[in-house]
A and B are shown apart, each in its own frame.
Chain A
Amino acid sequence: MVASVTSLGRNGLYDWLIQRVTAVILASYTVFLLGYLVLSPDLTFAQWSGLFGHTAMRIFSLLALLSIGAHAWVGLWTISTDYIKPAGIRVCFQAACGVVMFAYVVWGVEILWGL
């Protein structure tokens, strides 16, 4: 057993599963949005903001946003443990990634829910 305190779930299976589940969510969100854009050629602003005003869409968007955060955390954490060998620099990189991801999630929520 190799100890690790900075990974998302501190457990291999958990991180692995999160990575897969969030990937599926992100893929379906992307396909849905692209499909929507293709199927509505003369899209108006009212339609577009109506779509994002819908509760189901808000849930889906928030889910996608949180998925991006988690997916990026697992991915960048893995990259940092592969390539950044000095522990000090690695922890700084991981902390910076964490702050950036948190900021993006909060920012995204603000845009979506218009708080």
Chain B
Amino acid sequence: MLVSIYRYNSEKDNVPYMEDVNVDIPEGKDLMVLDVLHLLKAEDSSVTYRRSCREGVCGSDGLNMNGKNGLACITPLSEVVKKDKLVLRPLPGLPVIRDLVVDMSMFYKQYEKIKPFLVNDTPPPAIERLQSPEEREKLDGLYECILCACCSTACPSFWWNPDKFIGPSGLLQAYRFLADSRDTSTAERLADLDDPFSVFRCRGIMNCVSVCPKGLNPTKAIGHIRGMLMQRST
């Protein structure tokens, strides 16, 4: 199989380039893309990428594989390879540090903006703040996000305004805390989001939904935030 991989080393290269490598895939096995990267690295140890858990839990190996973002560790070759060719690029829209490794600061800055923690000024109970099963259920489809950035880096609105638009991942998390019965700062959270960029730059393109490796739906969460903003101000 032909693997075309994005290479860039700021100490050696003036501009990034694509390197074509032929990789022998063992017969009768459906490897994951991450396994292919391991095979590449065995041949050329300078190939650089992030990885950690290798089972879709840590969110480190988000990549653009044949044009679509996803986690290399849980994407089988049978799903992405077309015409015996695999093109590997870093997540689009973020500055490249080296090869497939991108600088995620902008992504984390947006995450930080939505205050990703519970705010509650009432005195804490002796053991824990309880939720009813129904209240807890509201967090399903939200808390599972692993911050892999596949969605935000697939979003054209995030590409154009990564400093102002929170992006699908951050907004999914914003809604996760808006929907939490234990959080008491709903009003402040909504006030922080009510400008023309933070939420409303979402144009419903839904790339986020199509790439999320955890099967989450940021567009739906954004719709809920819009609904809450509407309820608050009309």
Contact = CB atoms under 8 A, between A and B. Distances in A.
Interface of A: 1-4, 7, 10-13, 15-17, 78, 81-83
Per DSSP, chain B at the interface is loop
A75 B201 CA distance: 11
A18 to B, nearest CB: 11
B200 A82 contact: no
Contact of B230 (A11, A13, A15, A82): A13
B212 to A, nearest CB: 23
B161 A13 contact: no
Interface in B149-198: 157, 160-161, 164, 191-198
B196 A4 contact: yes
Contact of B197 (A12, A13, A17, A83): A12
Interface residues of B, number: 20
Contacts of A16: 200, 226
A46 B197 CA distance: 49
A7 B226 CA distance: 18
A13 B160 contact: no
B161 A1 contact: no
B160 A12 contact: no
B226 A2 contact: no
B198 A12 contact: yes
Per DSSP, chain A at the interface is helix
Given A16-B200, A16-B226, A11 B161 contact: no
A11 B193 CA distance: 10
B191 A1 contact: yes
Contacts of A2: 164, 195-198
Contact of B195 (A1, A17, A78): A1
B191 A13 contact: no
B113 to A, nearest CB: 9
B195 A4 contact: yes
Contacts of B198: 1-2, 12
Contacts of B195: 1-4, 11-12
Given A13-B229, A13-B233, A7 B194 contact: no
A82 B160 CA distance: 5
Contact of B161 (A3, A12, A17, A82): A82
Given A16-B226, A82-B160, 6 more contacts: A7-B196, A10-B196, A12-B193, A78-B201, A81-B161, A83-B160
Interface in B192-234: 192-201, 226, 229-230, 233-234
B199 A12 contact: yes
A15 B191 contact: no
Contacts of B196: 2, 4, 7, 10-12, 15, 78
